[in-house]
Structure 1
Amino acid sequence: MRTEPLRVCADPNNLPFSNKREEGFENELAELVAKSLGRSEVVYTWYPQRRGFSRNTLNKGRCDLIMGVPAGYEFAQSTMPYYRSTYVFVYREDSGLDIRSIEDPALHELDIGVHVVGDDGSNTPGAEALGRRGLGGNLVGYSIYGDYSQPHPPSRLIEAVAKGEVDIAIAWGPLAGYFASRQDVPLQVVPVSPEIDQGAVPFTFNISMAVRKGNDDLHDQLEDVIRSHRPEIRSVLSRYGVPLLEPTTPQREPGEE
């Protein structure tokens, strides 16, 4: 008897996480999950992963699983973390820079690229931390959403570093690691230190899978998959250039609807 598919909601244009051609690491991990659960296939509902994503997909019953959310995600039932990553600095190897800390005074002399979320005052950790240090005038914003008609719009920030439009960028590690390795010039990808800015702005986050609240059976099955396939999961993430840290107890994790 044919088993049911694994129904996943994902962004169709958001490498390295997912795209409609199923080239992202979340696509690959979804296949691993489906196989481990004995599901017949992965069936996607595609929806841009922006504000309201879970409300309009998972919580409307259009899928049963989102592959990547912050641990402790308030709009769904998240699993144990399956990886932890960090925000990173990205700069050209030929720049002469050796920046590893948000406290480095050299940042005051640089144009610093950051992702901006929108016009609602939401800042990414790098933008928030540097703004609190009086570096708002050094920041050059690149929309995390960008021109959605173009492939993987968040990559524009990393491309800006390669082209010399900015001296350095602060970006989410999985995105930065993937696109830095695909530029025409060598780029350095360096974890931001310290991991937490004076207890206010975290730069590292645990990432989990998520199901609808109350879907305990699938939640528990997913946690079994995560426990039993940690080496395979880590191998997939490493191939995509994800900077990996050991998962820890979440501190303050961001959430989107």
Structure 2
Amino acid sequence: MSRITPSRLVASGFALALLTGAAGALAQETKPSAAAATSKADTLRICASEAQSPLSLKDESGLENRIAVALAEAMGRKAEFVWSSKAAIYLVRDYLDKNQCDVVIGLDTGDPRVATSKPYFRTGYVFVTKAEKNLDIKSWSDPRIKSFNHIAVPFGSPAEVMLKEIGEYENDMAYLYSLVNFRSPRNQYTQIDPARMIGEVASGGAELASAFAPDVARFVKSSPTPLRMTLIDDDSKRSDGQKIGQHYDQSVGVRLSDKELLAQVNAGLERAKPKIDQILAAEGVPLLPIVNPVAAH
């Protein structure tokens, strides 16, 4: 999902524990609807968060909601959303694994919690700046980044890791915490609203933002202040040499045992590709060539 997923949770062990259930007692519980407990052959039960703008919204206008509908139609099924009030990061653990729904849209290809489909698009983290500044920053190694006053990044993301690597995190920490009313991401899953991050750049509160493109493309496109969104080169490394990925293939996830459904999803994605490409283009998501066009599991 175009949210922070395990392959991108490179900075927050606690958040990864939440995903796997080790810290489940600390997460807010939401009981799935009893009506969602059984699957029907003519429906596609889609795990969805109603609190994941702009990817998933209760009115089904989110990027991933529209992709899910396109997939269901291509499979000859009706899209049936199974809604959670919690962040989408919990969907696999609390919904898919409990058989309350059957697919999660927009997971990183190869997510170990699920069987993932063939990737249907690839994109990456972006830098967002004011267009009037005409900045062509494409890498975290660009020395100009250190001269910026405030940089907005998601907690637990590759962007946060790289902000630490270039020695700017301590200078920026109070500012980042102010964007979530000083709630600490260390003892709960806390994220900065993507719309607010982009609003900070537009207003001048931040000179630079870095986030996963699907999380912010809609807000960049609709900003009254012209903004520039640039894909980051996939060349980021920590000081110990470990690669910090900036580009990711996106897939649909099903339960590890659902091999038949996975095959149906893969066939549906092929038929739905023109519609999905239209949806991504309308959203303004920059695309990259898919690295591995075969299913990960």
Cα separation, 1, equivalents of 2:115 and 2:81: 19
Q: Which residue does 1:42 correspond to in 2?
A: 79
Alignment of 1:51-200 (within 5 A): 51-110=89-148, 111-116=150-155, 123-139=156-172, 140-141=175-176, 142=179, 145-146=190-191, 153-193=193-233, 195-198=234-237, 200=243
Cα separation, 2, equivalents of 1:181 and 1:162: 12
Cα separation, 2, equivalents of 1:248 and 1:237: 18
2:116 maps to amino acid: S
Among 200, 203, 207, the alignment partner of 2:250 is 207
2:115 maps to amino acid: Q
Contact 2:46/2:81 (CA < 8 Å) preserved in 1? yes
% identical aligned pairs: 29
Which deviates further from its counterpart, 219-228 or 131-140?
131-140
1:130 maps to amino acid: L
Choose between structure 1 and 2: higher strand proportion. 1
Choose between structure 1 and 2: higher helix proportion. 2
Contact 2:194/2:216 (CA < 8 Å) preserved in 1? no
Contact 1:113/1:169 (CA < 8 Å) preserved in 2? yes
Contact 2:249/2:291 (CA < 8 Å) preserved in 1? yes
- Structure 1 residue ranges without an equivalent (≥5): 117-122, 148-152
2:218 maps to amino acid: Y
Cα separation, 1, equivalents of 2:92 and 2:224: 36
> How much is the aligned-residue C-alpha RMSD, in angstroms?
2.2
Contact 2:73/2:79 (CA < 8 Å) preserved in 1? no
Q: Which residue does 1:15 correspond to in 2?
A: 53
What number of residue pairs does the alignment pair up? 237
Among 70, 76, 82, the alignment partner of 1:32 is 70
Cα separation, 1, equivalents of 2:152 and 2:171: 8
Cα separation, 1, equivalents of 2:63 and 2:282: 9
2:212 maps to amino acid: W
The structural deviation recorded for 1:44 is 1.3
Q: Structure 1's 96 and 85: CA in aligned 2 closer, same or farther, altered over 3 A? A: closer
Contact 2:139/2:236 (CA < 8 Å) preserved in 1? no
The structural deviation recorded for 1:16 is 2.6
Cα separation, 1, equivalents of 2:190 and 2:130: 24
Q: Which residue does 1:150 correspond to in 2?
A: none
Among 282, 289, 292, the alignment partner of 1:239 is 282
Which deviates further from its counterpart, 70-79 or 136-145?
136-145
TM-score (norm 1): 0.85
Which deviates further from its counterpart, 162-171 or 126-135?
126-135
Q: Which residue does 2:184 correspond to in 1?
A: none
What's the secondary structure of 1:202's corresponding residue?
coil
- Structure 2 residue ranges without an equivalent (≥5): 1-39, 181-188
2:254 maps to amino acid: V
2:280 maps to amino acid: L
Q: Structure 1's 230 and 84: CA in aligned 2 closer, same or farther, altered over 3 A? A: same
